[in-house]
Chains A and B, each alone.
Chain A
Amino acid sequence: MNHAIISCLHANLPAVEAVLNDIDRQGIDTITCLGDLVGYGPQPNEVVELIRKRDIATCQGCWDEDIIDGLNACECSYPSQLAERRGHLAHQWTDDQLTDENKSFLASLPTSLRRDRLLFVHGSPNSQHEYLLPDMDAFAALERVETAGADILFCGHTHQPYVRELRDGSIRVRLQNADHDCDQGEELTLPMRKIVNAGSVGEPRHGSTNATYVIHNDTTDEIEIKEVPYDVGRTCQAIVEAGLPKVFAWRLSHGFEFAEQAEDASHVCER
């Protein structure tokens, strides 16, 4: 059966509507959302209400968490000080706009969802703020999936969709300085695991303006990355009208921002 995974909607209603239409057209009725319903974009209440109305299983994103807990994330969430200041502006604006009811919905979201061997999180199983970038250390990537006890880990947060397969892994170890000097060491064979990043519906950064999401077939394990065009201009105009930083509109109309990618994928926020 096919099911769809969406992430990082970021209060961009036209993008969310376009993606949901695309999913509906294919007759897929299981949708999982990996969080970041709000932040950056101009329609936080509308997007949260749409997700609630459609009753889409959702885990909490980094923005959803910060709106509830306040901005106590360490600066590792932002790649630069400039980005941090703009992030704070958007945070404040979103905080002012969101209704109490929608805030309590965000507060009620779980940090992960599990269906058999599939695990759904926003950033990583460790934190909503950890980036699992496509080229991060392969052993560290596998450790995230394996320690969480999953076969396939679905995540978002990087806004770049990808499917990563980790296979044929092994680690040889030997005890030094042990009582039994004859220790020949042993070899651990690592299991095959996958990380699937759903990209971003409302704030894509993969080099195109199209919204992205993924479809997984849970019988064949085939995974397809989907791109959906939507009316970017409408969202950009709403961003400007809302008084949000214009750079968010610029970013949407370009589809990426080279200055704002996390540099250290292995960094874990320890607050």
Chain B
Amino acid sequence: MIERWALVSGLRGDLETYDLIQRDLKKTRGVTALFVLGDLVGLERNCDALLDRLRNPHRGDLKPDCIYGWWEEQLLAERGFRGERKADALRLSQGEDAVSALLNTVNPSHLKWLASLQFGFIELDCALIHGSSSDVGDNLTSETSPLILLDRLTRLNVNRLFTARSTKQFHLELTGGGINSQVKDLNGKREQQQEVPKRSVIGIGAGLNYTLYDVGSDKTHFLTASSTTNPKGKGFA
């Protein structure tokens, strides 16, 4: 079966953007799944309408599968869902006002649902995570050392890692290389050679910038949801 995934992140409460993406996807052929890789909430605007829509999709919406991201992690930590930890990372980077602003953008009735979201999905040989297996805030880009990218892929033992934290769109493929290793212990020496496996890290973008992934052909398409209404589009809801 031909599968095509849509990957979205960084909506941060922006229902209008989500709506534009849903409209785009309706016009796109063959999209079989919609993954929302975290940062559903943010502090710029009230997030309740978007959360309502994600939890109760409209008729005709592609049903979203959501995981939590860095902003949910901050919110949930501050609301006592992460044991002793609080929104320390946010507090450190943007101060106390940002923390209280974040608390005010989400109605507490959504917290339990947000807390039920998973850290990531493993689909086929792909991992879908907001940051990486190392941390929800792991900021991977095409500039990140390939050694670190390979480490993140190895930890999950997957061939492709879809990540969103950097908000960038990129598809970086590890195409070759290797390493020699010699281990000496009390039993003697042994040599080992290891090849770089053919694996990729894909940044899916954020907000209006989203990604389509064709599973069969391993092709990514980096798209931007268009704010102009398609004149041929029928306006029914």
A: residues with CB less than 8 A from B are 134-135, 137-143, 146-147, 160-178, 185, 187-188, 190, 206-208, 212, 225, 227, 266-268, 270
Contacts and interface: CB of A to CB of B under 8 A. Distances in A.
Contacts, number: 131
A173 B200 CA distance: 9
Given A172-B174, A174-B172, 14 more contacts: A138-B181, A161-B186, A167-B181, A169-B179, A171-B196, A172-B175, A177-B171, A177-B219, A188-B145, A188-B177, A190-B179, A206-B185, A208-B186, A268-B134
A146 B144 CA distance: 13
Interface range for B: 35 or more
Nearest to A144: B151
A133 to B, nearest CB: 10
A147 to B, nearest CB: 7
A172 B196 contact: yes
Nearest to B133: A268
A225 B185 CA distance: 7
Interface of B is mostly: strand
B194 interface: yes
B94 interface: no
Contact of B179 (A139, A206, A227): A139
Interface centre among B148, B170, B177, B200 (most CB of A within 10 A): B177
B155 interface: yes
Interface of B: 133-135, 142, 145-151, 154-155, 157, 170-187, 192, 194, 196, 200, 219-222
B128 to A, nearest CB: 18
A143 B150 contact: yes
Contacts of A161: 185-186
A163 B184 contact: yes
A165 B183 CA distance: 7
A135 B171 contact: no
Nearest to B184: A163
